[in-house]
Structure 1
Amino acid sequence: MKLLIIEDEQGLRDNITNYFNEESDICESCGCLNTAIEKLSAYEYDCILLDIGLPDGEGFAVLDYLREKNRNEAVVIISARNSLDDKIKGLNIGADDYLTKPFHLAELKARVVATYRRKTFNTNNKLIFNEIAINLLGRTVEVNQIRIVLTRKEYDMLLYFIANKGKVISKTAIAEHMWGDEMDMHDNFDFIYTHIKNLRKKLLDANCKDYLKSIYGIGYKFMTE
């Protein structure tokens, strides 16, 4: 997953970032409302962890922004405020979950995964796309009921393509989603081609239909049939 952590407490922000990075998620973070809006205007994310008490404004403004722009990121509010009014307000204007501080990072991870799974795939633990079956909890993939072994990047890339099936996705969008700020270290998109080539080969070797199509000069499209 690609996460945006909006939290003004540096220590907590670093702890969350390090924890999710260890799980091979891509994390970007900021500590104020203005920077959060700037990032959201430039990039898309799978899930946003949102503190509503920010130094330059209420985090609720992020939810307003997402709603105005018809964005579909999953949002988990993380806040020291435990009043019923704040919880109801956050959930009513677009948050998907509300977790009160202090919390265990393992619980936060579980909430994020569950929220992302419901919002993106409308499913519980298993995602089925034709002959491809993905166990979202175990992070395993089967094709025609035969397990195939994917790297973490290949697995995340397959999820990203299925979540956006039928859409033409630019190489830039793939790079931003899969590598976040790290993409700036690359001079070209050859590294994307390598991962896609490997993923496609593993799927075809398992007698999967060839869903991944290259769109010349633009990027890739995961076909729906």
Structure 2
Amino acid sequence: MKLLVIEDETDLQDVMVASLEKEGFRVETAGDYAAALRKIGAYDYDCILLDIMLPGGNGLDLLQRLKDLGKSESVIIISAKDSLDDKVRGLDLGADDYLAKPFHMAELNARVKSVLRRKSFGGQPFTSVGNLRLQADERSVWVLDQPLPLNRKEFDVLAYFLLNPNRLIRKTSLAEHVWGDHADAADDFEFVYSQIKNLRKKLKACGASVQIQAVYGMGYKLVVA
């Protein structure tokens, strides 16, 4: 899962990033309105943590921009302004939650996981395709009753496919989602192919009923065998 932290307080931003990465999330950052606007216009995220008061602009205007662009990211507003008007406007604009500063990192992590469950897994902490079951919170995968050991990138790749079953996933989209915003500028996608190759072997060895099929010249698709 890929997150964007829009926060101008450097110390707080660093703590948030460290805490979220410890939970297994990929995290990008923006420290002002202009940088945030570029990020949301160019890339897709699973969840955006959005401060209201930013250098160069207002976070609620970014929320309106997301709405205008038809983006589907979950948004948690994070602000020292514990104003009812700001909270109501933010929720009206499509924000999923509102967290007032100061807050504990444990609460932040719980809020992020909650909105991601609502968005991705219909409120459940897991998703199942065929005989494969992925536990998002625990970052674990099971085939029938047997655990499937995966490294961090393999888990992220498989999770992305499971959220998009039977859909064509282009290499550039997969690279951006799992490896970061600048991965689409890579000269080749050998790093994507390597993870897909290893993941295919592990799925086959454990008897998984899902397969990752190559779509020549375009990308990959997850199908139930």
TM-score by length of 2: 0.93
Which consecutive residues of structure 1, in runs of 5 or more, have no partner in the other structure? Answer: none
Corresponding position: 1:50 with 2:50 = yes
2: CA distance, partners of 1:44 / 1:221: 19
Which consecutive residues of structure 2, in runs of 5 or more, have no partner in the other structure? Answer: none
1: CA distance, partners of 2:29 / 2:35: 9
1: CA distance, partners of 2:126 / 2:6: 29
Which digits, 9 at most, give the CA deviation of each residue in 1:118-147, with x for residues without a partner?
111213222122211122222211112221
Residue 40 of structure 1 deviates from its aligned partner by 1.3
2: CA distance, partners of 1:16 / 1:162: 27
> Against the structure 1 CA distance between its residues 65 and 166, is the aligned structure 2 distance closer, same or farther, given a 3 Å change threshold?
farther
Q: How does 1:82-161 map to 2 (within 5 A)?
A: 82-161=82-161
What is residue 11 of structure 2 aligned with on the other side? 11
1: CA distance, partners of 2:224 / 2:80: 44
State the secondary structure of the residue aligned to 1:94. coil
Residue 21 of structure 1 deviates from its aligned partner by 2.5
> Against the structure 1 CA distance between its residues 206 and 6, is the aligned structure 2 distance closer, same or farther, given a 3 Å change threshold?
same
Conservation of the 8 A alpha-carbon contact between 1:144 and 1:206: no
2: CA distance, partners of 1:66 / 1:211: 34
What is residue 40 of structure 1 aligned with on the other side? 40
Instruction: Among all aligned residue pairs of Structure 1 and Structure 2, give the percentage whose two residues are the same amino acid.
Output: 46
1: CA distance, partners of 2:224 / 2:209: 11
State the secondary structure of the residue aligned to 1:208. coil
1: CA distance, partners of 2:24 / 2:218: 27
Corresponding position: 1:183 with 2:183 = yes
Conservation of the 8 A alpha-carbon contact between 2:74 and 2:115: yes
Residue identity opposite 1:38 in structure 2:
R
State the secondary structure of the residue aligned to 2:36. helix
> Where in structure 1 do 4 or more consecutive aligned residues deviate above 4 Å?
none
Residue 219 of structure 1 deviates from its aligned partner by 1.1
> Against the structure 1 CA distance between its residues 47 and 37, is the aligned structure 2 distance closer, same or farther, given a 3 Å change threshold?
same
Conservation of the 8 A alpha-carbon contact between 2:132 and 2:210: no
Which digits, 9 at most, give the CA deviation of each residue in 1:97-135, with x for residues without a partner?
110000111211111011111111213222122211122
TM-score by length of 1: 0.93
Corresponding position: 1:208 with 2:208 = yes
Residue 174 of structure 1 deviates from its aligned partner by 0.8
What is residue 59 of structure 2 aligned with on the other side? 59
What is residue 173 of structure 1 aligned with on the other side? 173
State the secondary structure of the residue aligned to 2:183. helix
Residue identity opposite 1:2 in structure 2:
K
Residue identity opposite 2:222 in structure 1:
F
